[in-house]
Structure 1
């Protein structure tokens, strides 16, 4: 007498996907952990292009200046007279924070200079201008 499993004709072969899902999740975790996230100001600005660009790491405060010369600090519109007070308040939370100014290529230089002057008056030690690499 023959003992064994009986296979019906309607039974189909199945592929076990458990190990493949494990590998996919491990790869997903690896890519999330190893990826670097770039923090942006949150305002659409056409930055000018420069051939000599240096990467700025660990920027704490972002200031965006639009083509209409509107000033945004951490995604909030700030009047030019309130820039220094706003930066002083942010420096209380992050005393060693550096400042990155993302000015639109059509923004007035005077607005950029006023923001830089207010930043120095607020006590910001490091100021950088953001540009796109050519």
Structure 2
């Protein structure tokens, strides 16, 4: 038997140049691609008119003949008019205010009451006199 000298040849393929080409092509396509945002149709949505469930409040002030201030038939301190209006305003919207004064009451009490009301709210005030 003849001895054959078998030389194994290991063929190696160098992939580095191919990877370079792939990355160059990848960079080329990324750079040349234009990224456009898709345009959408503008919708004109109808705004819902939600009805508010807040109640309206009409405070009734009365000045007695001895200059006591009554709010809805309850006596209040003349220095706490704005506080009482704020309490009523928390329960609902003040749309109008009614003020009546006894003919025997003093002008200063009425003016003080009106100043306190206007200092708190800009709701319309109706004036009347008690019979």
Structure 1 length-normalised TM: 0.51
2:101 to 85, 100, 103: 103
Pairs within 5 Å for 1:83-94: 83-94=81-92
Are the counterparts in 2 of residues 59 and 100 from structure 1 also a CA contact under 8 Å?
A: no
Pairs within 5 Å for 1:54-69: 60-69=58-67
Are the counterparts in 2 of residues 98 and 124 from structure 1 also a CA contact under 8 Å?
A: no
* 1:98 Cα offset (Å): 0.8
1:76 to 66, 70, 74: 74
* 1:101 Cα offset (Å): 0.6
Are the counterparts in 1 of residues 57 and 88 from structure 2 also a CA contact under 8 Å?
A: no
Structure 2 length-normalised TM: 0.52
Alignment partner, residue 121 of structure 1: 119
User: Whose relative contact order is higher, 1 or 2, with alpha carbons under 8 Å and at least 6 apart?
Assistant: 1
- Post-superposition Cα deviations, 1:23-47, rounded to whole Å, max 9, x if no partner, equal xxxxxxxxxxxxxxxxxxxxxxxxx
Are the counterparts in 1 of residues 57 and 94 from structure 2 also a CA contact under 8 Å?
A: no
Unaligned runs of 5+ in 2: 1-55
Unaligned runs of 5+ in 1: 1-57
Moved over 4 A (4+): none
Aligned length: 76
Are the counterparts in 2 of residues 71 and 77 from structure 1 also a CA contact under 8 Å?
A: yes
Whole-Å Cα distance in 1 between the matches of residues 121 and 57 of structure 2?
A: 15
Tell me which moved more, 122-131 or 76-85: 122-131
Whole-Å Cα distance in 2 between the matches of residues 105 and 124 of structure 1?
A: 26
- Post-superposition Cα deviations, 1:59-91, rounded to whole Å, max 9, x if no partner, equal 711001001000000111111101111012112
* 1:131 Cα offset (Å): 3.5
